[in-house]
Structure 1
Amino acid sequence: MNYRHSFHAGNSADVVKHSLLIALVRALQLKQGALTLIDTHSGCGLYDLDGDQAQRTGEATQGVLRTFADPSPLLNDYRAAVQAVNAGTEQHLYPGSPRILAQLLRPQDILILNEKHPEDASALRDAMRGTQAAVHERDAYELWLAMVPTRTGRGVVVVDPPYEQTDERARITATLAAAYRKWAHGVTVIWYPLKDRATHRQWKAQLRRLGIPKFMGVEHWLYDSVQPGIYNGAGLFIVNPPYAFTQALPPLLEALRAALAPEGHRGEITSGWLGEVDRTGS
């Protein structure tokens, strides 16, 4: 799968990922202790929705722009994060995870970003000027292991790869296993695309065998049945999600499902612990 994010900025996957990321970090910030936020595959940090690449796919019209037309107050935090990088009422720019995480920082929190692609790393540094973020240009999986356990004790690692390499899922699984041995209480968020249910079931089975007790899965299927050979949705795996986040999750997922369902489809969002998936919108 080739996934250059500038073509897909603000799509439905971004909406779900960033809405849940905001809710997760804010739930962790209910405690005053410092957080370290680590983004292993940061990308460019900021994307032009009027640019050629974004316009070529038009995916933002079925993602972020739908949320601005939706009345649900549960999406207000997400909309505010997008509006914060735009001067007027129109959405011309889209914040990647680095800019969204930077908005959430408290004075005691730390933000560590990483992007291996040289051009994207340069764009990321430009996008993060004026913030307190540290930007690295390293192998994402090496950085992930090197940065845990975090100096602050509590922290979140966000793993959001492009899935261009055939061994991407295997590398994530192996690195997560090693990171969990070092940092069993840490919070890890892993984004993934969905193309077919069989492949996803196989990966979930591999992850389940890691034996991580608090391991949540969120799956967003756009269509009422799998559309062969195309992007069907995306989701997140979350290790050690805080209680306040899991309790607030069901109504947020329903709001996202309703806002993002393609015409003629109800869509489906599932959430629950690995092996025990609850269905929303089925």
Structure 2
Amino acid sequence: MNYRHSFHAGNSADVVKHSLLIALVRALQLKEGPLTLIDTHAGCGLYDLGGEEARRTGEATQGVVRAFADTNPLLDDYRAAVRAVNAGAEPRLYPGSPRFLAQLLRPQDFLILNEKHPDDAYALRGAMRDTSAAVHQRDAYELWLAMLPPRTARGVVVVDPPYEQTDERARITATLAAAHRKWAHGVTAIWYPLKDRATHVRWKAQLRKLGIPKFLVVEHWLYDSDQPDIYNGAGLFIVNPPYAFTQALPPLLEALRAALVPEGHRGKMTTDWLGD
């Protein structure tokens, strides 16, 4: 499945992913100790919702546009982060994960970004030039392991690949296993699309075999039943989520479900512990 982000910026998956990312980092920041935030597949950093690629899919209308039309205060932090990169009231630009993470940085925190694609890496450097982020252009999985353990005791690794390669899930599984051996207490958030349920069930079974404790699965299903051969939603695997995050999760997920549900469906947000 090709998920080049410029085609999908601001869609429902982005709203969920970035809302949860804000909540995750803020939960970790309840403690004063510094954090290292690492984004392995950073993309361009900033996306034009009026650009040709975004307009071709029109997915932002079912994502960020719906979130902005909603009034639930639990989505205020997300909306504020999007407004921060826009001059007007309506979103014309959409921040990728690097810009969301940069907004969350405290003086004691560090942000490390990586993007292998040359054109995207060039765009990323431009989008992040007003931040303290370090930008790399390396293989994502090599960088993931090379940066662990980070210079700070705590941190988050965000893994958000386009799933263009047939071995993407296998590389994530192998790298996660090695990363957990190097940094067992670290927090890792892995984004994935929900399209082929059978493939996803097999992948979860492989991840369960890693025996990693505290492995949370959060999934957003758009439709009431699977729609064959189309995008059905997305999820996050979160290793070692902090207690404050998991406690705040149920009302936030309900707010996201209500804001993003397609017409004629109820949709659902699910959480589960892998291996339980």
Query: Shorter-chain TM-score: what band?
Result: over 0.9
Matched residue of 1:135: which SS? strand
Which residue of structure 2 lines up, in the alignment, with residue 203 of structure 1? 203
Q: SS of 1:218's equivalent? A: strand
Amino acid across the alignment from 1:27: A
Does 1:165 pair with 2:155? no
Tell me the SS of whatever aligns to 1:193.
strand
Partner SS state of residue 229, structure 2: coil
Deviation at 1:275, TM superposition (A): 4.0
**Counterpart of 2:197 in structure 1: which amino acid?**
R
Shift of 1:106: 0.1
Q: Distance in 2 between matches of 1:135 and 1:129?
A: 10
Measure, in 2, the Cα distance between the counterparts of 1:189 and 1:2. 20
Residue 101 of structure 1: SS of its match in structure 2? helix
Measured in 2, the distance between the counterparts of 1:56 and 1:165 equals 23
Judged with a 3 Å threshold, the aligned counterparts in structure 2 of structure 1 residues 100 and 107 are, in CA distance, closer, same or farther, namely same
Note the C-alpha offset of 1:196.
2.5
Q: Offset at 1:272?
A: 2.1
Instruction: Report the TM-score, using the length of structure 2 for normalisation.
Output: 0.99
Residue identity opposite 2:27 in structure 1: A
CA deviation vs aligned residue, 1:36-92 (integer Å, no higher than 9, x gap): 000000000000001111011100000000001111110000000000000110110
Distance in structure 2 (CA, Å) of the matches to 1:273 and 1:34: 27
Matched, 1:86 2:86: yes
Query: Matched residue of 1:10: which SS?
Result: coil
Query: Secondary structure, in 3 states, of the residue corresponding to 1:9?
Result: coil
| One-letter code aligned to 1:148 | L
Is there any run of 5+ residues in structure 2 with no aligned partner, and where? none
C-alpha distance in structure 2 between counterparts of 1:246 and 1:2, whole Å:
31
Identical pairs, percent = 85
2:269 aligned partner: 269
In the alignment, which residue of structure 2 is the partner of 1:280? none
Report the AA paired with residue 23 of structure 1.
Answer: A
Write the distance in 2 (CA, Å) between the matches of 1:20 and 1:255. 12
Supply the distance in 2 between the matched residues of 1:154 and 1:133 (Cα, whole angstroms): 17
> Number of residues paired by the alignment?
276
Which amino acid is the alignment partner of residue 117 of structure 1?
H
The residue aligned with 1:279 is none
For 1:194-273, list aligned pairs within 5 A: 194-273=194-273
